[in-house]
Amino acid sequence: QICRDRGAFFARKSRAIPAMCSLQEERENAKGIVHFINLSNGLESLPMLQGTPVAFTRIQSSHCESGNFNGILSGLDPTLLLYLALGYHCYLHDYGSRNKKRMAPRAIWYGVTFIKYALHQIWELPGEPTKPIL
């Protein structure tokens, strides 16, 4: 049975976000944790994740910039959606950022926020979804 209300989608701009726990602790407690690399700027995090299983997805900042919401959702990797639906904690790694004010890639602060909202609506999860601030 798919448990849609347990999955969590975390974004990690690897250089800017202080780790709440070390990667070693994450590896030891890795049940239900999957790391995704956002192509192509997330590839820089591969050396840091050495020994940790990773998957890949593509949230394009150009879709975010143009407000192409269908493009954002249709470009998501099916593996990411499956892990979220099964209740896994999914971490998205991305290093790209030209926004000096937010200090995070647009795919993170815009894309992940919208994806959380959209999946909450599409999967008809209980409670009110967090409204994206776009």
| The pLDDT value given to residue 63 | 87
Question: Looking at residues 20-42, what average pLDDT do you find?
Answer: 66
pTM of the predicted protein model: 0.70
Question: Rounded to an integer, what distance in angstroms lies between the CA atom of residue 117 and that of residue 125?
Answer: 10
Question: Rounded to an integer, what distance in angstroms lies between the CA atom of residue 23 and that of residue 30?
Answer: 10
Question: Looking at residues 4-22, what average pLDDT do you find?
Answer: 43
Instruction: Give me the helices (H) in 2-122, please.
Output: 23-28, 61-66, 69-74, 78-85, 106, 113-122
Q: Give the whole-number percent of the chain exceeding pLDDT 70.
A: 69
Whether residue 70 has pLDDT greater than 90: yes
Question: Rounded to an integer, what distance in angstroms lies between the CA atom of residue 103 and that of residue 81?
Answer: 26
What is the Cβ-side half-sphere exposure of residue 133, based on CA atoms within 13 angstroms?
A: 2
Q: How far is residue 14 from each of residues 18, 70, 121, 126, 128, measured CA to CA in Å?
A: 8, 27, 29, 31, 29
In tens, the pLDDT along 100-113 reads: 676 777 888 888 88
